[in-house]
Amino acid sequence: FVSDMGYIDDNYLAQAQEGGPWGASKIQKQKYVRDLLIKAKLMYEEFKLISNLLKKIAEEDKKQKIIIRAHPSENPDSWKKIFKKHKNVSIKSPIDDIAPYIMACSGMLHRGCTTSLQAMCVNKPLGFINLKKSEKINQFSFKLSTKITNVQDFIKWKSKINKKINYLKNKH
């Protein structure tokens, strides 16, 4: 799973208030922070849902290796804390190139991040974790991914990922 949420720990409100657009007026900055707080809360709620789904997947098939690569804006320790008892889950810090992980995987779960396009270019099967009504439904990677909403969807997707995929053929 390649994460792209950003706000993944209980301190998400403080993190959201740290920034602001450079050169913005006081009113613009207040609106920015207000909007960002709403987004941070939604991202944190989605993080909890996704981590629960990944936990269920890890528990369903203990032989299934799951690698979670944190987003550069995330603290990997939040992921590590959740999955510390799951020996089949490995958390990777976003300090190196993701390409080797993509090349080594049998399929990639994502939420619409740009790395899904990298995986698509090397014909890796894509599963879009869609636990809430996604705002990304018009994205290219959403359209070409299998939608994963529960463990059963994951199991079905996993059983089909050995088929050869060519995203570039007959798609445009």
Per-residue pLDDT tens over the stretch 82-99 = 999 999 999 999 998 999
CB-count burial class (<10 Å; 0-12, 13-18, 19+) for 22:
exposed
Of 69-73, 102-106, 122-126, 159-163, the one with minimum mean pLDDT is 159-163
Tokens at 150, concatenated? 């529960």
Q: What's the pLDDT band for 28 if we cut at 50, 70, 90?
A: confident
- Give me the helix-helix angle, 151-160 and 26-60, nearest 10°: 70
pLDDT value, residue 80: 96
Of 54-58, 121-125, 161-165, the one with minimum mean pLDDT is 161-165
Task: Tell me which amino acid residue 107 is.
Answer: G
Q: What's the pLDDT band for 168 if we cut at 50, 70, 90?
A: low
Q: pTM for this one? A: 0.81
| CA distances, 7 to each of 36, 45, 73 (Å) | 11, 9, 8
